[in-house]
Structure formats: C-alpha cells, structure tokens
C-alpha cells in the first residue's frame, strides 16, 4: 500500500503510538511493527521515542513536501516520521532556549547513520538563511560523505557501516539559524586498516582512491587495483552492490573543497592513504634470528609518500631502541626484531597514521564551522550498532559495551523515570517489570570489585601485551575473579561469553591485551617526526 498522509478519519495500519496497544507484550509490539512495515510505514512512536524499521530500499517520504507537512505541526498531528521528531526538538530548543539531544540506538545495519543524516538535512531546511549560515549548513551536510569515506566500511551486516562513533553538535543563534557546530569522534576501528574478515572491506576511501582517482594521481601515488594490496585483499571483496566508488571518490573530493581543505592538504591526505596501502605490502623474512624486509624495493614507495628515508624506515621496522637503567646510569640498547614483531610494528604504524589522519579531517570540519560563543545547540549521537558476528573480538566488546551504556541511559530516561513519575503523582497502575542492565555495565566497568575492563588493564600493566600467554593470563584471572554480575559471565578456554541486554555474545580473547594497550613505540614516532611532508 502506498504511504499517504492520513486524516484522523482514515484507519491507520496498526497503532501509530504503541502506548495505545491494549496489551503491552513483545508479541503485540512485534506484530504491530510488522503490520506497519508491510504497508511501508517504517516509523512508529512509543510515547516520545520513535522506532524506525530499516526498509532496505528508498522510500519517497523525505522530500520538500514532507518538510512542509511536518514543519510547525504538533507531534501527533501527522503520521510518525523522523521529521516530526526533529521538528519537535527544534521547536523545544527555540521555545525553551535549552540544549537538545537525540540518541540514535540500534543494531548494526538498523539505519542509524541514515537517520542522523535525515535529521541534519531537515534542520538545515527549516532553519534560517544568510551567507554565513549557508556556509555552516554546507559544512555540516558535506561532513557526512567525507567522514563516511574515511570512517565507514562494508561489514557482513551493513554495506555502509559506521566504524566510529560521532557526536554532532549543531549550534544555533537567537534567530534559530545554525551558525556553528562541532563534531566529537571516538572509537575509530583502526584495526580494520590492517585486517578484515571474509566478505568485508577496509574503509571506503581506499577503494574510492583505487577506482576513482585520475590516471595522473594513480601514477603519482603508485596505485593499481585493490587486489594488489595486502591491506585490501585479505577478505576477497572489492566491489559492493549499491556503492559507486568512482562517484563517491568525487563526492569525497567535493566535500574536502566545501570544508576548505586546500589542494596541497588534499594531496597530502591522499599520499598518506596510499602510503598506508604500500606499507602493508612490506613483508619480512627471518635472517639469523631477526627480521629483514623480503624485498627492499617495497620500502621505496611508502617512504616516498610519507616523506621519510627508505633505509630509516627499514631500520625502524626491524629494530627498536630500548632504554635500560643500571643504578643511576641509563643506556640505550638497539634490539633487533623477529618477523612477528616487525609485522606488528608495520601494522602499528599504519593504524596510527590512519587514526591521526582521521582526527585531522574531523579537526578540519570543526575549524570550518567553529564559533566562539555557544548559545544553544542540538546534539545528535550516531554510534556503532550492537554487533554479534561469527567471530567477536576486542572491537565488538568495546562497541557492545557502549551500546550497553546507551541502553542504561534509555532505561533511566524512559522506563524508570516514567514509573517514578506515576508514583509521585499517586497514579494507580500495575508496575511493568523490565531488565535493568546496570548489572551488565558493572560486570564490564566496575572498579571495586574489579570488572572485566579493570582486570584487563591490570594484566596489560603487569605483562607485555605481545608476550605469549597474556590473553591466557587474562582469562585465568577473570575465571578466578569475583566479578560483579557474575551470572552474566561465562568463561571458557579461548574466551568468554557476556549476556548483554540484546543477547549473549561470545568473545575470542585472542588479541585483547595487545589491542587494549595499543602501543606505538618511540622509534616509530621519531621516524614520522623526521618526515619532510
């Protein structure tokens, strides 16, 4: 059935606000959402909360017509829509002159990033004008394709999965016009730079560059097809349905122009991206119990692109300077690395370069729309969705912990607060039982008694993250610890299972200690400080 703007005399598909359901049960909620979804009505309210079901197709509900329908209308005057939520938030900010915030939560692939873009687009359309304001709007909207290029990737759950969290704060002047903004980013999944699971991709920008750059740029950067690069060919997936890497490369370059990144800076950004790819093709062989590059020729291009000496790059990848103390005397000793340690150092450099490049881009966006005084603002939190894969590691553990905290906030602001208000007002009603996930948050983050994170930090502080057995020691210590929320934890020989609010997730402990420490050795820092770029 085509979507239409219903008058109150027209029977709706299902119930538009699920607080009106006669029975508040999971089966009734799911049935209602299903009924509406089959009629292409993807939005449903639960009081002030908007539930969105990803249709995995384009729907014609986001045009200027819908903007006109929802602008200034009461929340329940029209069918549920994300524009209604955005408009209510905007009008609350203007009438009360208070900061507003919207939290977008859901599993990976639920459509959180698209929802965030709809909200930003709506606010840009209904707010004031002027040359400066239009510049700020352009930067806010163009920051999306830029940060998605460098921060999103194809996973088994989602072709355009956000692999970082971001909090976008749009600042408004007294007239209701956006006149500034700020983006805070966190938890970039930089481990994806050096390895991906089967049927996944690295960050979009690598493929955009390989497919979309001009012949001259490819020659300058030494680029060829993605299957040539170790950092791209591990998963065997290069092209994704629905993603036009050539067009999106041009969108990324346009976004850089709008944000004000100069041509020289853009060239340096692309050099670093290409340099990371070339770094991944440096391999090592064992020679007399220490590592040497399998072919020195593979050092030349990454060294050139990163502006460092190729022999210095070779030295820093295969050896490390360690300061030792003998009483009051300190000596520097050069330690040669084995193949495994050299590969770790190579990957650590690649991840650090990419993470710092991403921070530079976020800083460039913020500089383009920064404002001295913060009058009021609307914040939009768009973060990784809850993830349950076939193999779950440290990254999924961190992602799911953040989602666990968001769930706790949701419980505090809705279920708990609502029921407390009923009690205060003396309203007779039957209390609704719900699972308070604070016990799971404590299991992960508690300091006393120590939770999983505290035990992990303790192991990393007392053992070398790369030392054999660090992850095993972690599991052993977790098994003997009196963890808070112990009933939500089950350990086994290779990892552990946590019973989250969204279900049980089994994590493989391999790499937990190494990734938690995330060490970048001084030698590598000094190498990059010598760069001529």
Active site residue 113: yes
Determine which one of 155, 161, 345, 366 is catalytic. Answer: 161
Active site residue 414: no
Structure tokens at 42: 């993807």
Report the C-alpha gap between 378 and 37 in whole angstroms: 29
Determine which one of 180, 212, 275, 385 is catalytic. Answer: 385
Structure tokens at 62: 């986001």
Inter-residue long-range contacts of 182-185, CB under 8 Å, 24+ positions, other chains counted: 182/366, 182/369, 182/370, 183/143, 183/147, 183/362, 183/365, 183/366, 185/147, 185/151, 185/358, 185/359, 185/362
> Which of 517, 522, 485, 479 lies closest to 500 in space, CA to CA?
485
Active site residue 162: yes
DSSP states along 357-415: HHHHHHHHHHHHH--SS--EEEEEEE---B---SS--HHHHHHHHHHHHHHHHHHIIII
Query: 301: phi > 0 → left, psi -120 to 50 → alpha, else beta; which?
Result: alpha
Determine which one of 387, 395, 404, 514 is catalytic. Answer: 387
Q: Scan for tokens 């089966």, then name that residue.
A: 27
DSSP states along 420-471: HHHHHTT---PPPP---THHHHHHHH-TTTT-HHHHHHHHHHHS-TTSTTHH
Residue 414: exposure state from Cβ atoms within 10 A (0-12, 13-18, ≥19): middle
Active site residue 385: yes
Active site residue 109: yes
> Which of 515, 182, 190 lies closest to 369 in space, CA to CA?
182
Query: 58: phi > 0 → left, psi -120 to 50 → alpha, else beta; which?
Result: beta
Instruction: Tell me the C-alpha to C-alpha distance, in Å, between residue 528 and each of 192, 343, 361, 525.
Output: 21, 17, 19, 5
Determine which one of 109, 307, 379, 472 is catalytic. Answer: 109
- Asked if 402 contacts 131 with a C-beta cutoff of 8 angstroms, the reply is no
Active site residue 13: no
Active site residue 108: yes
Active site residue 215: no
Find all residues with CB under 8 Å of 58, minimum gap 6, and list them: none
Find all residues with CB under 8 Å of 149, minimum gap 6, and list them: 203, 204, 205, 208, 248, 251, 252, 255
Determine which one of 13, 44, 158, 345 is catalytic. Answer: 158
Determine which one of 13, 32, 108, 115 is catalytic. Answer: 108
Q: Provide the sign of the torsion angle of the four alpha carbons 343, 195, 278, 142, taken in this order.
A: negative
Determine which one of 13, 44, 105, 113 is catalytic. Answer: 113
- Asked if 87 contacts 72 with a C-beta cutoff of 8 angstroms, the reply is yes
Length of the chain equals 533
Determine which one of 121, 162, 377, 516 is catalytic. Answer: 162
Find all residues with CB under 8 Å of 327, minimum gap 6, and list them: none
Residue 152: exposure state from Cβ atoms within 10 A (0-12, 13-18, ≥19): buried
Tell me the catalytic residues: 108-109, 113, 158, 161-162, 385, 387
């Amino acid at each position: 059935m085509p979507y239409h703007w219903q008058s109150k005399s027209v029977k709706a598909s299902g119930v538009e606000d699920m607080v009106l359901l006669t029975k508040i049960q999971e089966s009734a909620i799911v049935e209602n959402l299903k009924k509406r979804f089959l009629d292409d009505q993807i939005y449903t309210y639960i009081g002030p909360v908007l539930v969105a079901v990803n249709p995995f197709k384009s729907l014609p509900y986001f045009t200027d017509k819908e903007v006109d329908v929802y602008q200034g209308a009461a929340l329940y005057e029209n069918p549920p829509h994300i524009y209604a939520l955005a408009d209510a938030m905007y009008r609350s900010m203007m009438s009360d002159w208070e900061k507003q915030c919207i939290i977008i939560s859901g599993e990976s692939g639920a459509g959180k990033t698209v929802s965030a873009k709809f909200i930003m687009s709506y606010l840009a359309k209904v707010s004031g004008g002027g040359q400066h304001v239009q510049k700020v709007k352009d930067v806010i909207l163009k920051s999306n394709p830029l940060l998605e290029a460098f921060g999103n990737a194809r996973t088994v759950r989602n072709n355009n999965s956000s692999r970082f969290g971001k909090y976008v704060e749009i600042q408004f002047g007294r007239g209701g016009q956006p006149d500034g903004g700020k983006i805070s980013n966190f938890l970039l999944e930089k481990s994806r730079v050096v390895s991906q699971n089967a049927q996944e991709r690295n960050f979009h920008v690598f493929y955009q560059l390989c497919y979309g750059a001009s012949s001259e740029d490819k020659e300058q950067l030494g680029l060829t097809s993605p299957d040539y690069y170790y950092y791209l060919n591990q998963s065997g997936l290069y092209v994704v349905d629905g993603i036009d890497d050539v067009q999106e490369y041009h969108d990324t370059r346009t976004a850089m122009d709008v944000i004000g990144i100069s041509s020289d800076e853009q060239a340096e950004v692309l050099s670093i991206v290409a340099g990371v790819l070339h770094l991944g093709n440096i391999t090592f062989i064992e020679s007399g119990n220490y590592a040497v590059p399998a072919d020195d020729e593979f050092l030349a291009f990454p060294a050139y692109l990163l502006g460092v000496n190729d022999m210095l790059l070779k030295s820093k990848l295969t050896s490390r300077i360690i300061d030792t103390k003998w009483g009051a005397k300190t000596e520097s000793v050069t330690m040669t690395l084995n193949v495994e340690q050299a590969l770790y150092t190579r990957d650590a450099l690649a991840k650090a370069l990419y993470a710092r490049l991403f921070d530079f881009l976020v800083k460039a966006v913020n500089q383009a729309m920064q404002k001295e005084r913060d009058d009021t603002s609307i914040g939009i939190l768009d973060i990784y969705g809850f993830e349950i894969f076939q193999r779950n590691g440290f990254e999924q553990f961190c992602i799911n912990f953040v989602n666990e905290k968001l769930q706790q906030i949701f419980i505090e602001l809705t279920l708990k607060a609502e029921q407390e208000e009923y009690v205060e007002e003396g309203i007779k009603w039957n209390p609704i039982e719900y699972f308070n996930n604070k016990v799971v948050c404590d299991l992960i983050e508690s300091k006393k008694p120590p939770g999983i994170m505290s035990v992990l930090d303790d192991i990393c502080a007392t053992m070398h993250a790369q030392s054999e057995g660090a992850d095993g020691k972690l599991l052993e210590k977790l098994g003997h610890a009196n963890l808070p929320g112990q009933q939500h934890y089950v350990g086994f020989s290779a990892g552990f299972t946590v019973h989250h609010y969204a279900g049980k997730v089994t994590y493989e402990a391999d790499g937990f200690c190494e990734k938690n420490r995330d060490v970048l050795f001084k030698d590598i820092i000094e190498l990059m400080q010598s760069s001529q770029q």
